[in-house]
Structure 1
Amino acid sequence: MIKKPVTPSVGRTPSPFVSFSPLPRLLACSIALASGVATANDDPFGGSDSLWDIPLDELGQVRVTSLATGTETPLDKAAAVATVITEDDIIAMGATDIDQVLETVPGLHVNRSNQTYTPKYTFRGITSLLNPQALMLVNGIPVTSAAFGNRGNVWGGMQIKTISRIEVIRGPGSALYGADAFAGVINIVTKDRNNINGTQAGLRAGSFNTQAGWVQTGFTTDRNLDIGFVLEYQTTDGQHEQVDQDIQSNLDSAFGTNASLAPGGVNTGVKSTDMRLDIKKDDLRFRVGYQGRFNVETGPGVSESLDPVGQFASNRINTDISYLFKDVAPGFDVESRASYFYNTQEVEKGSVLFPAGTAWPDLSASPPGSTLATFNNGIIGEPEYKEEQARFDLSSVYRGIDNHHLRIGTGFFWGDLYETKESKNFDVAFTPAGPLLQPKASGLTDVSDTSEVFLPEKDRTSYYLFIQDEWQVADNWQLVTGVRYDDYSDFGDTVNPRAALIWATTDSITTKLLYGRAFRAPSIAELFATANPVALGNSDLEPETIDTYELALSQQVNREWLYSVNLFYYSIDDYIDFVPSTGGNIAQNIGERTGKGGEFELQYDPTSELRIIANYAYQRATDDNTDKLVGEAPNNQVYGRTEWSFMPQWQSSLQINWVGEQKRAASDTRNTPVDDYITVDVTLRKQNVVDKLDATLMVKNIFDESVVEPSAVGGIPSDYPMAGISLYGEIAYNF
């Protein structure tokens, strides 16, 4: 039987502010010091002096997080609006990719980018073309690409067998996590020895010619080394839902050509390999992870022109080593951590921006533009880059002052974007009507190490300092305050404070008042791009900033019922957008946005065999310059899931996801919003079908609902189609 967590994502405690025994060191090493604080479940200081400690006999019933402050704290007492998703939750919902998991978080919607259908994690309506406003961490280490500020444009999905748990903060996190913890923070905690019970091997197969397999093992050596290892592989042709028109259809209509490949299907195939190794001995820990993405197809086409040829690849490596120095002085512990991140974008097959036969006005004709220049092989662009990032972080906790838990940290970051390469068969001419592509006289040409390359090679350094105090003001009051200073080599410095007042209102009710400021660092492309026909950099950019205010309340009504509600308001300044000019679209700090809304979560456990979870989220984000909705995100979302153990070793799950209509951006000429949709998924699992063999059947979108997400600039008029009904089967053998 699946071990089912008793409490929902808002947590549970028997009574407020009780003095408890120390928490055990769940993972005895490592604060997530990639940005200066602990990972979602790695508090090296053990939370032993937490003002919200939990009796050991209650630990299995309470979800805790250290993502909010670095101290392990019950979710309802955490100094943020947070969600914890365990491995058991992931199994229950029948997820095969992290995007399916994150879609269940209230206030978070997963949209799609035109860049290889890369996911956009849209928190509370805060969205943009490449989605750099959401920070993703893997074991506390950012996986942010310096090139574009997101997770990279060749993400290729992320499978879930390597994941122990996922913790999410909805709202700002820069006071702890620094850059890009703007709209929200997603921390993926991978499996270690404690999360793996023996050895398991499994296979999955299903729709779209999907085939996957994994093996995981955890053990302790005779030298007391705890070792956890997971290897996962998947190949899929991907869904090929049809689009009737693309941007080339418009060019054909304008210029009298017939080059478009529409109607045709989107291209979403990918091969992926994920590996995680975790080695721990006492207070020393070493982790390494690898994510290889190959044959990543281009979705709707990089330029929203269908491209069944182009394929990209990416190699990502995360590694870190940390050590906890205990009792350096009375009540004073110190943890050091060094980490390294490597990321690439590679072209496996030529990326065709526009198909063979496309034609553009020929500016070399007389008079200019009187005839068309035809690209017989299509318009081809092959951008590649590599990057390395290294971080060293030092953090300490001091518990020598009564009723205070003082955390201080500092760190240094170095990043290098190098080997930026590109081959292309076009030149860019900037005209009053916009950029026009012209055939390059030399045909497909390697323009690496020239002024024509899409991105210059750049490095970036930064350092930070932060301080945070968790102060138990009274038996039922806690005040968390903190501030972080970051200094960057390429745009200057920034200061981001936070404050959280937490009140245990009654034995069953907790109320929280939260404030935080966050920033988003301009990407290398936004600062320095000089040869991109769509977007040009501006070295004078300031970081985007956001101030967020939240009021949250949670109540454990009785043993069966628990709910939480939170309201939020935010204001964004210096939002970066690309402004048309005679020289192209240039990045500028011109945007101001405000947003407001709320989220409601409910859990009902009528029996030990049945669990019901539901949440609702509302947001209204406004562009202050136009006084119109930002759009490209749902204003309303509803999610529900039932988990039922209906006989010994049989479990079923039914989940329903309603995504409300999504308005258009102010710059979008399409007046009709993206329709709302409802998807229904069913999962059936049987343990010990035969001895030690488990089997799972998963049906996604069982009623074959038509699902589309907003297209980037309207190049796909009918928007991005998502998968219809799909079926997967999975078996796992436990050795």
Structure 2
Amino acid sequence: MKLGKILFSVFLLRFSFVSCLKQPIYKHSCRFTTVCGVFLILALWSQRLAALDDEQVVDMDIEELLNVEVVTASKFSQTKLTAPSAVTVITANDIKTYGYRTLAEAMRSIRGIYTSYDRVYDYFGSRGFGRSGDYNSRLLLMLDGRRINDSIYDQAFIGTDGLIDMEDIERIEFVPGSGSSIYGSNAVQGVMNIITKSSSEQTHLSVAGGFGDYGADREKVTVSRQFDNGLAAYASASRYRNDGHQRLYFPEFNNGTSMGVAENLDGDKAERYFGKLTYQGWTLEGAFANRKKYVPSAIFDADFNTTQYTIDKNAVFELRYEDSLSKTINITSRIFYGSYQFDALYHYDGVKNFDKQRADWVGTEFQVVADVAGHKLVMGSEYQNNFSVLLANFDQQPYFCFTDETVVSERYGFYLQDNVSFLNYFTLNAGVRFDHYSVFGDTVNPRLALIVQPESTLAVKFLYGTAYRAPNLYERFWRSDAEKISEYLGPEKTESFEAVLEYQPMANLRLITTGFHNTINNLIQQALDPRDDLLQYINAGSFEMNGFELEADYLWDNGMRLRGSYGYSEAREASTQRVMENSPLNLAKLNFSMPFYHEQLLLGGEWQYYDGRKAKNFNRSQAYQVFNLTLTATKLVPHLDMSASIYNLLDEHYQQPAGDETQANLITQDGRNFRLWFSYHF
């Protein structure tokens, strides 16, 4: 039997790879065959490998793993089945199993989500809508329930510029669709809440480090302690460096001088610090990130193949208090401070030009969750003051200032939500939020969710909501010799309809299907004013997104897990029905994990397929597939965890659409690359 498995496995691999070599014209289909062959081999061997120790089982109960409680959908704890959305949870174990290095890599495992990378920032797309170069301002990113989008661009940082190391994350909750009824601006395409780790041991110290392709290396130190008096402390610090590609080719810049090759302009380095103290309901938390990224694509019409970089510095601090006033009333209050600094260097005809942007803000939030006569009420208020914002751009020598704007703004909001069950099978979740902005005025956004549960393992959800994206301070107040202040700019508005079916026919099987229709109106985009030939941001254009998603998640008794999803979405301009740029029609994903050798080894693999996307200037990126593989070893050596990851295992050569900030139409992505990671626990 064992010999038969070996021979059949060798045959599968030989058939897969030889087919690719003999039929290169069918590159994508043959690579899919290879991936399927690998997954089939893993499945064949999983039972035997896991049987090396039949007494060992996964630490987490099967039903518990598939029914993790979530807090982000309604601002109180509930099961995924009863939440007013199709919530996705990525756990710390998932991050470790699949070797996720950034938030963007983890997000790509979620059904319906895709990302783009222009070799400066990672950009988020969901359900067919993902405008290149839009700084993720339609995604609300939170850290332990507090928004961390910056106050200049409202940008959600999800790449190597992210605020938190992946090792510091306990879990990530993603709530797709409209979320402005309880969260306000930016919760247009979804809300992503990063929930961080806390100290759970008496004393813990770990030192970690790793290296990989493109000259990448990273070091990290983590310390935590649980004191006898109840005080818990957690802190970490890390440093990262990546030399990037030595040569990147951009045909749009092939003018006979540089031959379109950017040399040694893809480097990336970052440092992060995170700390957390908890004591009797009080939490003091702070995070800081500093990332410098060299730019190979000559953004904003800068000289090609000259030194160009961006520096992003983010800091957030929060003091939070949570308490139960009674068995039915819980309160949460927080005060917070945030800071964002952006610096950039460009060259124009040999002259150095600098961006200098600064923002500081403070705010507070108070929330009450109360159980009253069968109703679960959530009430809250939020206030934020952007008390110091600077937008500046200048040439260094000879000195010339293009813009130097100082801005002050504020916003406040009130929200109310009721969750009530009736007639045994029905639950109604209804909420509304009012927000006032000093820069444009008021907006009101409701959400209605009717959840039907004819049995405990089945939920049918009908969801409706509106959401908005407030114009960010850059769009509202930026001006230069070619741009003017956008005085009458208002918010974008989204209306969404969604139907969700979640079914768990067995304790270890979870099925999800969703259908959606979304519209975005008053889209904020830049246009030329014919009266003075100056650019400004205006509200113009509407888009419609229609589609559906399918997902299945199965967990074997021996710990092996397989999750697959498919998403179909059409995103078109409402007036012309033209297909939107950077919008893949089809997305397909598989995630597979398997413990073996007494659960001291864990193999995690993921396969992702992305349809071709329309790009600017009548270009188009081709469809592509990516296969990643990670092997994690725990307890093989006392106190030492090790992992080896290969990303883009089949060395797929692919490109993604670029934004308007560069003349490049398509951006080349990384080929096959590896990472080795070691973590020693004292």
Scaled to the shorter chain, the TM-score interval is 0.7 to 0.9
Q: Deviations over 1:459-498 (max 9, x none)?
A: 1101111110011123221110000000001100100000
CA–CA separation in structure 1 for the residues paired with 2:495 and 2:459: 23
Give the superposition deviation at 1:585.
2.4
Q: In structure 2, which of residues 107, 114, 120 is the aligned counterpart of residue 109 of structure 1?
A: 114
Q: Deviations over 1:110-151 (max 9, x none)?
A: 1134xx621111121223332321121122222223322323
Give the superposition deviation at 1:423.
2.2
Change (3 A) 1:717 1:93: same
Change (3 A) 1:123 1:60: closer
Structure 1 residues without counterparts, runs of 5 or longer: 13-58, 253-257, 355-374, 426-442
Answer yes or no: is 1:242 the counterpart of 2:248.
Answer: yes
Answer yes or no: is 1:334 the counterpart of 2:306.
Answer: no
Give the superposition deviation at 1:95.
1.2
- The one-letter amino acid of 2:197's match is K
CA–CA separation in structure 2 for the residues paired with 1:4 and 1:267: 45
Give the superposition deviation at 1:4.
6.3
Answer yes or no: is 1:529 the counterpart of 2:478.
Answer: yes
Answer yes or no: is 1:573 the counterpart of 2:521.
Answer: yes
Query: 2:104 is paired with a residue of what secondary structure?
Result: helix
- The one-letter amino acid of 1:301's match is A
CA–CA separation in structure 1 for the residues paired with 2:437 and 2:668: 40
1:643 aligns with 593
Give the superposition deviation at 1:601.
1.0
Q: In structure 2, which of residues 614, 620, 632 is the aligned counterpart of residue 685 of structure 1?
A: 632
CA–CA separation in structure 2 for the residues paired with 1:313 and 1:238: 16
Structure 2 residues without counterparts, runs of 5 or longer: 1-55
Change (3 A) 1:151 1:609: closer
2:551 aligns with 601
CA–CA separation in structure 2 for the residues paired with 1:393 and 1:74: 25
Q: In structure 2, which of residues 361, 371, 378 is the aligned counterpart of residue 407 of structure 1?
A: 378
Answer yes or no: is 1:172 the counterpart of 2:178.
Answer: yes
CA–CA separation in structure 1 for the residues paired with 2:70 and 2:451: 15
Give the superposition deviation at 1:532.
6.2
Answer yes or no: is 1:127 the counterpart of 2:149.
Answer: no
Contact 2:297 2:664 (C-alpha < 8 Å) held by counterparts = no
Contact 1:162 1:231 (C-alpha < 8 Å) held by counterparts = no
Change (3 A) 1:60 1:715: closer
Change (3 A) 1:164 1:333: closer
CA–CA separation in structure 2 for the residues paired with 1:618 and 1:640: 15
Give the superposition deviation at 1:446.
4.6
CA RMSD of aligned residues (A): 2.4
CA–CA separation in structure 2 for the residues paired with 1:196 and 1:76: 35
Give the superposition deviation at 1:714.
9.1
Query: 1:527 is paired with a residue of what secondary structure?
Result: helix
- The one-letter amino acid of 1:404's match is H
CA–CA separation in structure 2 for the residues paired with 1:542 and 1:567: 30
Change (3 A) 1:491 1:261: farther
CA–CA separation in structure 1 for the residues paired with 2:264 and 2:161: 15
Give the superposition deviation at 1:547.
0.6
TM-score, normalised to structure 1, is 0.80
Contact 1:298 1:307 (C-alpha < 8 Å) held by counterparts = no
Q: In structure 2, which of residues 223, 227, 232 is the aligned counterpart of residue 226 of structure 1?
A: 232
CA–CA separation in structure 2 for the residues paired with 1:262 and 1:60: 50
Query: 1:351 is paired with a residue of what secondary structure?
Result: strand
CA–CA separation in structure 2 for the residues paired with 1:153 and 1:309: 24
Answer yes or no: is 1:297 the counterpart of 2:280.
Answer: no
Change (3 A) 1:224 1:94: same
User: What is the aligned-residue identity percentage?
Assistant: 19
1:395 aligns with 367
Higher mean alpha-carbon deviation, 717-726 vs 260-269, is at 260-269
Contact 2:201 2:226 (C-alpha < 8 Å) held by counterparts = no
Q: In structure 2, which of residues 343, 348, 351 is the aligned counterpart of residue 346 of structure 1?
A: 343
Answer yes or no: is 1:79 the counterpart of 2:90.
Answer: no
Change (3 A) 1:519 1:682: same
Q: In structure 2, which of residues 392, 410, 425 is the aligned counterpart of residue 421 of structure 1?
A: 392
Give the superposition deviation at 1:155.
6.6
Answer yes or no: is 1:627 the counterpart of 2:577.
Answer: yes
Change (3 A) 1:195 1:390: farther
Change (3 A) 1:606 1:225: closer
Q: Deviations over 1:543-565 (max 9, x none)?
A: 00001011000111224432100
Change (3 A) 1:457 1:703: same
Contact 1:682 1:699 (C-alpha < 8 Å) held by counterparts = yes
Give the superposition deviation at 1:408.
0.8
CA–CA separation in structure 2 for the residues paired with 1:239 and 1:103: 23
Q: In structure 2, which of residues 121, 128, 146 is the aligned counterpart of residue 141 of structure 1?
A: 146
CA–CA separation in structure 2 for the residues paired with 1:269 and 1:78: 42
Q: In structure 2, which of residues 668, 671, 678 is the aligned counterpart of residue 721 of structure 1?
A: 668
CA–CA separation in structure 2 for the residues paired with 1:91 and 1:695: 10
**How many residue pairs end up in the alignment?**
620
Give the superposition deviation at 1:266.
7.7
Answer yes or no: is 1:656 the counterpart of 2:654.
Answer: no
Contact 2:76 2:369 (C-alpha < 8 Å) held by counterparts = no
Answer yes or no: is 1:381 the counterpart of 2:353.
Answer: yes
Query: 1:629 is paired with a residue of what secondary structure?
Result: coil
Contact 2:151 2:340 (C-alpha < 8 Å) held by counterparts = no
Query: 2:186 is paired with a residue of what secondary structure?
Result: coil
2:93 aligns with 88
Contact 1:569 1:597 (C-alpha < 8 Å) held by counterparts = yes
Change (3 A) 1:184 1:272: same
Change (3 A) 1:720 1:60: closer
